[in-house]
Chains A and B, each alone.
Chain A
Amino acid sequence: MPSRTGARSSRSRPELGLLLLGMFVLLGGSLVPLGAASSADAAGGSTGKDAECNKTKTEHNITKKAFPVLSLEYGHVKVPFEISLWVLLASLMKLGFHLIPRLSGIVPESCLLISVGLLVGLLIKLAGEDVPPVLDSKLFFLCLLPPIILDAGYFLPIRPFMENLGTILMFAVVGTLWNAFFVGGLLFAACQIPQAGLSDVGILPCLLFGSIISAVDPVAVLAVFEEIHINELLHILVFGESLLNDAVTVVLYHLFEEFSLVGSVTVLDGFLGVISFLVVALGGVLVGAIYGFLASFTSRFTSHTRVIEPLFVFVYSYMAYLSAEVFHLSGIMALIACGAVMRPYVEANISHKSHTTIKYFLKMWSSVSETLIFIFLGVATVDGKHKWNWTFVTSTVILCLVARVIGVVSLTFVINKFRIVKLTTKDQFIIAYGGLRGAIAFSLGYLLDCRHFPRDMFLTAIITVIFFTVFVQGMTIKPLVDLLAVKKKQEAKRSINEEIHTQFLDHLLTGIEDICGHYGHHHWKDKLNRFNKKYVKKFLIVGERSKEPQLIAFYHKMEMKHAIQMVESGSRLPSAMPSTVSMQNIQPKIPPALPKPAERALPQLRKGREEEIRKILRSNLQRTRQRLHSYNRHTLVADPFEDGLNEFLLKKQKMIELDKKIKEMTTYLTVPAAAADSPTMSRARLASGRHTDFIPAHQQKGKPSDPQSYHVRPTADGVPSIQVDLASPDSPDSVKLLDEFRQAEKQEQDEDQGLMMRPPSSGPNKPGGKDEAKEQQKLMRCLSDPGPGADEDEDEDEPFLP
């Protein structure tokens, strides 16, 4: 997570980081013997307690000693303590790296973390303690891997993934098979060289080893590719391949492991293996999809208990993973399928805060997991009993590279015949170069039975390959990308134009395909969309949103984001806001010949009111981040204001010009004079007595002290006014105009916090009342989420947005 302060900090923090590191390592190292000592006592104590209860009360002559004021007992907190220590260490390392100015630009994080792990392992070993078996396979597969995969699956960009699915599958399935057999077979040949002393390694263990080492690792790929910001196509190709090859790896692994014990493989077994592959892959996806639908369905009913919404997402996904693992299906594919299936429906149902929670939790967990994995890799390297065999290791490394290159080139040759946009040589090079191996290979190797396989030798070779790919390839890929001028990711946000035209082109292409009689990509996509809209959405999405077209949803998001930007940048041109803020036009009575639509959409308030409203918004809104492209952990932390502000300033200038043009329109708009009044005054007014200016809208409901409700008195001169009332939790959509608002008013039975700004539905305010000031209907959904406690909202919100 790049720290914002890192660039600006003038003091150098590497010493601090190293000092902290040293402290924690020593602390951990010193506590281990303590733990060993007192755990014995603890163990003895617990059984002793039961025995004591059974004894008769004959032995009660315990000598009285002084009551211990301060005592030390480490045993019973040992395990959680050490886990927390590791997590803390990992996080501090991550923090430290980004404080060192240029290091994170040159060396990818994964390399640094492995180095730290090596260091920690060395320190522990020097302290004379046993290194804990940190990369225990159970821990890895059950605790460390799922968050990363869930994060990847939930934020998977579905559209590019589906468009390139054929290519990805080819690389994942055929590529991995090719790699496994090539490496395994040639390794066996290498083992036959008499000088190597490896002649006892059979063909099947070699093939097993080949299948372990050939899988591209999603964790490593994610870690490295996210930093190089490569264009979306290549990213999704390599990343998709790393995700989908899990099925192949699982099947091959189990196949060869079973048969190495037997010693031979027949054709029937091979055939069963193929069937098994289909079962594993499709079964995993099916399990994931089922849980995904369950999660979506559950989220339909969570409108009253918003707080635990994120929990459903996490638990259902984890259950999908575990259920798939029960049947030896591909857990990774289950997790991906679950996340991808549930996302559109869950996002339509849950509140905005829950969405943010889910996003941040996933990013946090996956970040910590990834860090821990790399550190543990380092530690396990130091600890492991290594058996270095020059022939084996070097031939492994070379064969892996060669196999990857040959595989990618030949597959691309075949694939390009079917692709519209062909893969160039540069693309092929990046795909081949990006085939990184990682911790999954290590854990799979760790699981091997050391009696049947030369496990230590395998592990050494695996670690060497991992180190080679992560260090050498990971470090050099960034300069290579720059050198080869590979297309980078486009950072700009999607505009409404792009969205409209892309959808338009989709429809167009579907039609053309229909004309040609060509049942292609668009045809099936269209069919799926129709099915989705007609049946599935109604079932899984609550309320009005099930009918909301995607375009409208996109527009909502954009508008809200824009409104929040406006508020936070402190607009000085209230008259010249673009037509973003209202979902409906304010003045239907305006003659349609009005040439400037932007002004038509503007609310005109007295400056004071406007300032107050701005303060309300600022204190209650949350920042929305770009929801569309958030699958990259690094873009999460990037400040959206930088780009948003520039964009806004440009718009401001445009608006200044437009503003001049609207001076003549005095029919309804009272263009306020230049600057607003002093913000301090209105802030003071706001802070001192929230009730002085505002009438709580729900006095009759018996909550006069509710600070969240404001009521702007309607002014008589036709200036539109705003009434802010408590939000209702389940009126997410307000596609219809005032009717919706009247309905929404009826739904306000629930007490919860948040703001809903809507026009007063009473008659006299109607002509001016259709404006929404700066608020969108989507804000209702955004703000309708109650905090943990109804009355604690004041503490919860900060006076200004963070």
Chain B
Amino acid sequence: MGSRASTLLREEEIEEIKKETGFSHSQITRLYSRFTSLDKGENGTLREDQVNFRGFMRTLAHFRPVEDNEKNKNPPTTEPLNSRTNKLLFAFRLYDLDRDDKISRDELLQVLRMMVGVNISDEQLGSIADRTIQEADQNGDNCISFQEFMKVLEKVDVEQKMSIRFLH
């Protein structure tokens, strides 16, 4: 399995992914083998979403732990994918289904409904959603923008919560 995986993944590609996402070589090969095992149809993409391996890695890169020593090296020109802002942006985009850079009440309701299950009534969820928006909303547009989202979560240790250990 391992050898088959590495032949399908060219070295230049690995280098590119490494630069883009910050994963190490072994991590990339390991994740590639995982990707291929998930990719049942063997057409290089995952299911309906048509995520290719690059997209897969890009998404996963958000969950790399934040490293302190990145300050020592010359600072990267673009912000690394696993910085706090980018992690929060990823989470924000999951809420924001219509990609208008705002979490509206309905989008929030959908997420709440999924989290909470079927026992709770709509009105109750509605009031929770209302309160959530009211707490976070600062400019009064009744939606949560990304800035407001970041502000609300400033006390939460996102670096730890949104990271998983990719074993070498």
Contact = CB atoms under 8 A, between A and B. Distances in A.
A737 B123 contact: yes
Contacts of B34: 515-517
Contacts of A626: none
Interface string A478-503: 00000000000010100111101111
Contacts of A137: none
A309 to B, nearest CB: 26
B4 interface: no
A490 B117 CA distance: 32
Contacts of A509: 63, 161-162, 164
Q: Which has the most chain A C-beta neighbours within 10 Å: B60, B136, B161?
A: B161
Contacts of B155: 490, 492, 498
A214 to B, nearest CB: 30
Q: Which has the most chain B C-beta neighbours within 10 Å: A420, A498, A552, A558?
A: A420
Given A421-B157, A584-B123, A497 B132 contact: yes
B9 interface: no
B133 interface: yes
Contacts of B60: 512, 515-516
Contact of B121 (A501, A503, A601, A736): A736
A656 interface: no
B44 to A, nearest CB: 17
A522 interface: yes
Interface in B135-168: 135-136, 142, 152-153, 155-167
A583 B116 contact: no
Nearest to A588: B123
A642 B112 CA distance: 32
B159 A421 contact: yes
B66 to A, nearest CB: 8
A756 B55 CA distance: 55
Given A497-B135, A580-B131, A420 B124 contact: no
Contacts of B94: 504, 508
Contacts of B65: 420-421
Interface string B116-133: 110111011011101111
Contacts of A585: 123, 126-127
A582 interface: yes
Contacts of A501: 91, 152-153, 156
Interface size class of B (residues with CB under 8 A): 35 or more
Contacts of B163: 420
B49 to A, nearest CB: 12
A33 interface: no
Contacts of B126: 585, 597
A515 B115 CA distance: 19
A577 B94 CA distance: 31
A766 to B, nearest CB: 15
A547 interface: yes
A703 interface: no
B108 to A, nearest CB: 8
Nearest to A651: B134
Nearest to A499: B132
A735 B116 contact: no
Q: Which has the most chain B C-beta neighbours within 10 Å: A163, A500, A583, A595?
A: A500
A502 B161 contact: yes
A504 B91 contact: yes
Contacts of A503: 115
Interface string A635-658: 000000000000000000000000
A598 interface: yes
Contacts of A516: 31, 34, 60, 164, 166
Contact of A598 (B121, B130, B159): B130
Interface in A506-544: 506-509, 512-513, 515-518, 520-522
A761 to B, nearest CB: 17
Given A509-B161, A509-B162, A516-B34, A497 B152 contact: yes
B124 A498 contact: no
Given A421-B160, A512-B63, A579 B134 contact: yes
Contact of A579 (B111, B130, B160): B130
A509 B87 CA distance: 12
Given A496-B135, A549-B116, A595 B127 contact: no
B136 to A, nearest CB: 5
Contact of A552 (B91, B111, B124, B134): B124
Contacts of A520: 164-165
Contacts of B152: 495, 497-498, 501
A603 interface: no
Contacts of A713: none
Contacts of B38: 515
B157 to A, nearest CB: 7
Contact of B117 (A549, A583, A597): A549
Nearest to A770: B123
A555 interface: yes
Contacts of B115: 500, 503-504, 507, 549, 551
Given A497-B136, A520-B165, A601-B127, A595 B142 contact: yes
B91 A502 contact: no
A588 B123 CA distance: 8
A597 B153 contact: no
Contacts of A548: 119
A505 interface: yes
Nearest to B35: A515
Contacts of A497: 132, 135-136, 152-153
Nearest to A516: B34
Contact of B161 (A505, A583, A736): A505
B153 A584 contact: no
B157 A552 contact: no
A496 B142 contact: no
A595 B162 CA distance: 33
Contacts of A515: 34, 38, 60
Interface string B58-75: 001001010010000000
Contact of A496 (B63, B121, B131): B131
Contacts of A147: none
B76 to A, nearest CB: 20
A683 interface: no
Contact of B131 (A418, A517, A522, A579): A579
A515 B65 CA distance: 17
7 contacts: A420-B65, A421-B157, A504-B91, A520-B164, A547-B119, A548-B119, A585-B123
Given A496-B128, A522-B164, A551-B116, 7 more contacts: A163-B160, A502-B156, A518-B165, A549-B119, A552-B120, A583-B124, A598-B130
List the 5 closest A-B pairs by CB distance, nearest first.
A597-B130, A584-B123, A497-B152, A585-B123, A579-B130
